Amino acid sequence: MNPTSFFSEYWLYVLIYQAVCAFASASVARLRRRDQGYWFILGFIFGVFAVAAVAAIRKLPDELAPKNNLLLDSEHYLRSGWRFLLFFVVVLVLYYLSAVLAKLSGIVPAQSFFFLFYLDVLLATYLMLRIVDRRKFTSVGFPYHGKIMKEILFGFLLGAAMIGVVGGVEFVVGAVRLDLRPGQSFALLIQNFGLSFLLFGFFAMGEEVIFRGYPFQVLIEGTGAVAATILMSLVFGVIHVMNPDANFFSTVNTMLAGVWLSLAYLKTRTLYFPFGMHFGWNLVQSFFLSLPVSGLMTSRTIFIPHDFGPGWLTGGRYGPEAGVGTTVVMVAAIVYFLVDKRIKPAYDYAASKERKSTVGPTSAA
């Protein structure tokens, strides 16, 4: 690959990256009372090597890319397994740099660093697609087509209806009792709804980008849709083990939710539909039903819940996602997605995945 063409196209990204590496390194040195000038230079040198590595792996010469090359595929691009690992390396590097800068600036409080993480995931997705994959950012599941709002709204209503059934059964049988939250004015109710809307919308999108976005789609390329769905759903469930009051049943249900959301992506090949389902489920579960979401309880709810029993039905302090009701609706939704043929991509999926032909590699004759 000609390095000149790489730097001519990405010179702005390179300069910003070099500056971030250098200043972040100097900032760490200041915290540890080291020579800031020396560490500034080290950070700059690290950036140079990192940029050179990216330029090298984008396309190696044809003679270095035989058919059975473990690094490159038949089109001389980095294989899916390496791209999967590289994505998480980029996320960790970006998160480290952004967390250091945020801590030094004092702009972002420590308890909000989770927001930084998902922003870094989004940035890492953009960088991997544009620099390594040579594809448009929209190819990760954000295509422009005429049914975007329809997919989001349908997903939202489906997720809301599913958790509504689960919560409704609990209330009807008396497993959970709700008391209206006292001293809540209409203005405060609207404010709490707005904050809940933004919070659950942000985290639903963040989780979809990392669990159904680039890593999931790269695994599909390398292992197929079935294996990728199983693997990412297992990871999705295991990650939630760290939540308060998690147990075996909550983990199983979260894995089922991973399959449910993965199928929503596979049916539409967009992130709009699974995002809407994820968002609708969480928002209705928390704000309207006033129940814990994956073990996390907020005070921005309409009601105050009591009892949470029996545990096999309500999920106890973890919430409905650890109860049998969630198991039933998740299995039903998965079966529905598997048998229904009407849900399909509303755009040219194959065309959206094409690499940039003007600067990308040419296939071997």
pLDDT at residue 360 in the model: 41
Burial 201-223 (b: 16+ CB within 10 A, else e): bebbbbbbbbbbbbbbbbbbbeb
Question: Could you report the per-residue pLDDT of 74-84, keeping only the tens digit for each?
Answer: 777 888 889 99
Statement: residue 362 has pLDDT above 50? no
Q: Find where tokens 């976005």 sit.
A: 213
More confident residue, 93 or 214: 214
Clarify whether residues 198 and 317 are in a common domain: yes
Q: What three-state secondary structure class fits 71?
A: coil
Clarify whether residues 108 and 225 are in a common domain: no
Statement: residue 128 has pLDDT above 80? yes
**pTM above threshold 0.85:** no
Residues 97-106: contacts with CB under 8 Å, at least 24 apart: 97/20, 97/21, 97/24, 100/24, 100/27, 100/28, 101/20, 101/23, 101/24, 101/27, 104/27, 104/31
Beta bridge partners of 177: 306
How far is it, in rounded angstroms, from Cα 245 to Cα 224? 34
Amino acid, single-letter form, for residue 119: L
Domain boundary residue, one of 98, 120, 140: 140
Interior CA angle at 78 toward 76 and 84, to 5°? 160
Q: What is the dihedral of CA 310, 313, 317, 320, to 10 degrees?
A: -160
Considering the domain boundaries, does residue 364 fall inside one?
Answer: no
How far is it, in rounded angstroms, from Cα 355 to Cα 274? 25
Domain boundary residue, one of 140, 171, 200: 140
Considering the domain boundaries, does residue 84 fall inside one?
Answer: yes
Clarify whether residues 305 and 270 are in a common domain: yes
Q: How many domains does the chain have?
A: 2
Q: Given pLDDT bands bounded at 50, 70 and 90, which one contains residue 55?
A: low
Clarify whether residues 98 and 243 are in a common domain: no
Considering the domain boundaries, does residue 131 fall inside one?
Answer: yes
How far is it, in rounded angstroms, from Cα 91 to Cα 108? 18
Clarify whether residues 340 and 206 are in a common domain: yes
**Average per-residue pLDDT in the chain?**
85
Clarify whether residues 193 and 267 are in a common domain: yes
Clarify whether residues 80 and 192 are in a common domain: no
Taking 3-state DSSP, the helix, strand and coil percentages for the chain, each rounded to the nearest 5, stand at: 70, 5, 25
Considering the domain boundaries, does residue 359 fall inside one?
Answer: no
Domain range for 194 is 148-352
pLDDT at residue 359 in the model: 43
Clarify whether residues 93 and 111 are in a common domain: yes
Task: Quickly list DSSP for 150-205.
Answer: HHHHHHHHHHHHHHHHHHHHHHHTTSSEEEEPTT--HHHHHHHHHHHHHHHHHHHH
Clarify whether residues 195 and 316 are in a common domain: yes
Clarify whether residues 205 and 316 are in a common domain: yes
Q: Find where tokens 């690499």 sit.
A: 355
Q: Find where tokens 């329809």 sit.
A: 150
